[in-house]
């Protein structure tokens, strides 16, 4: 039996309070995890357990930034072990309930590193109608809902996949890589796009390879670069498109006299190759696009459903 000194009784009461607090924390853990960063709670839990495990039976000083340090001396020796057991038990209860939730939440946060703009097909269609560049959307409609595609990186592929519920994500500040030899694994390709860059600048065209990305009208071609997704440029400003009037790839190119068509600088030609909706109907055509405000990507596996929702909403 431990002596019934005022100090011991006070310590016991403190331990009981800590137990009650632990129970409250367990009950409120869902709310706590919703408002506090999981990494922060995990760090706090680790520090508590580590701090308690290293508790000495002798002198122990705990410093706080805003309070005067409290010293525990040899007078605490008799009750320290009981107090320590109570606190460890309380912390164990909290960690047992909180850790699985926090670990799962932290894992989910690591998986999704891109803004999610919609989480079901109808919402995606509504977002596209509201936020997508209107001229591009009209071209998609005129083309009988032919989409522009792009292959996603591994991280982006994870971000748009959520079990049976695909998601649309917004890509901003996507690196421009057409002038990088590693993109097509060819110095000749990089030199080609540099010449195209110089030519566009000399003609006063606002979009160039250095500020644009490459898309394709063919999902199979896009799959060579990653998970296939349709592309939807955002905003009315800073959005332009370019393609080869004769169709096909920018690179590799078999025609040394390519005619580059852009939506901002070239009028509709007699053979109608100047219309973006015609280009979208092309068989495996490269379409370079500039999207200063970023662009939304939507998993291609929901194409049929997305087209259905777009047709229904646009006809209203």
pLDDT tens digits for range 90-149: 444 444 444 444 334 433 444 448 999 999 999 999 999 999 999 999 999 999 999 999
Report whether pLDDT(163) > 80. no
Report whether pLDDT(87) > 60. no
Give the model's pLDDT for residue 266. 53
In sequence order, which ranges of 134-232 are alpha helices (DSSP H)?
A: 134-142, 154-160, 187-202, 219-222
Give the model's pLDDT for residue 224. 96
pLDDT level of residue 183 (50, 70, 90 thresholds)? very high
Give the model's pLDDT for residue 22. 58
Query: pTM of the entire structure?
Result: 0.64
Report whether pLDDT(48) > 90. no
pLDDT level of residue 11 (50, 70, 90 thresholds)? low
CA atoms within 13 A on the CB side of 243: 25
Backbone angles phi, psi at 227, to 5 degrees: -55, 130
pLDDT level of residue 13 (50, 70, 90 thresholds)? low
First and final C-alpha spacing in the chain: 82
């Amino acid at each position: 039996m431990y002596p019934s000194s005022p100090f011991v009784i006070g310590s016991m009461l403190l331990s009981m309070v800590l137990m009650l607090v632990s129970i409250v924390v367990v009950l409120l853990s869902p709310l706590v995890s919703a408002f506090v960063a999981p990494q922060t709670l995990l760090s706090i839990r680790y520090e508590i357990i580590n701090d308690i495990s290293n508790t000495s039976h002798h002198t122990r000083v705990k410093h706080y930034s805003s309070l005067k340090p409290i010293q525990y001396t040899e007078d605490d020796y008799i009750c320290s072990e009981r107090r320590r057991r109570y606190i460890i038990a309380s912390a164990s209860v909290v960690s047992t309930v909180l850790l699985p939730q926090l670990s799962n939440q932290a894992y989910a946060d690591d998986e999704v590193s891109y803004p999610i703009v919609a989480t079901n097909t109808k919402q995606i269609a509504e977002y596209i109608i509201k936020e997508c560049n209107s001229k591009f959307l009209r071209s998609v409609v005129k083309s009988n809902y032919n989409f522009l595609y792009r292959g996603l990186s591994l991280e982006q592929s994870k971000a748009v996949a959520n079990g049976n519920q695909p998601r649309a994500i917004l890509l901003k500040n996507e690196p421009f890589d057409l002038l990088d030899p590693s993109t097509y694994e060819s110095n000749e390709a990089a030199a080609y796009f540099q010449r195209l860059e110089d030519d566009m600048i000399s003609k006063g065209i606002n979009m160039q390879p250095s500020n644009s990305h490459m898309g394709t009208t063919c999902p199979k071609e896009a799959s060579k670069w990653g998970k296939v997704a349709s592309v939807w440029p955002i905003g009315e400003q800073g959005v332009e498109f370019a393609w080869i009037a004769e169709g096909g790839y920018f690179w590799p190119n078999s025609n040394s006299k390519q005619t580059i068509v852009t939506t901002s600088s070239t009028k509709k030609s007699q053979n109608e190759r100047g219309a973006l909706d015609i280009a979208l109907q092309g068989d495996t055509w490269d379409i370079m696009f500039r999207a200063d405000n970023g662009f939304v990507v939507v998993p291609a596996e929901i194409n049929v459903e997305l087209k259905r929702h777009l047709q229904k909403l646009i006809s209203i």
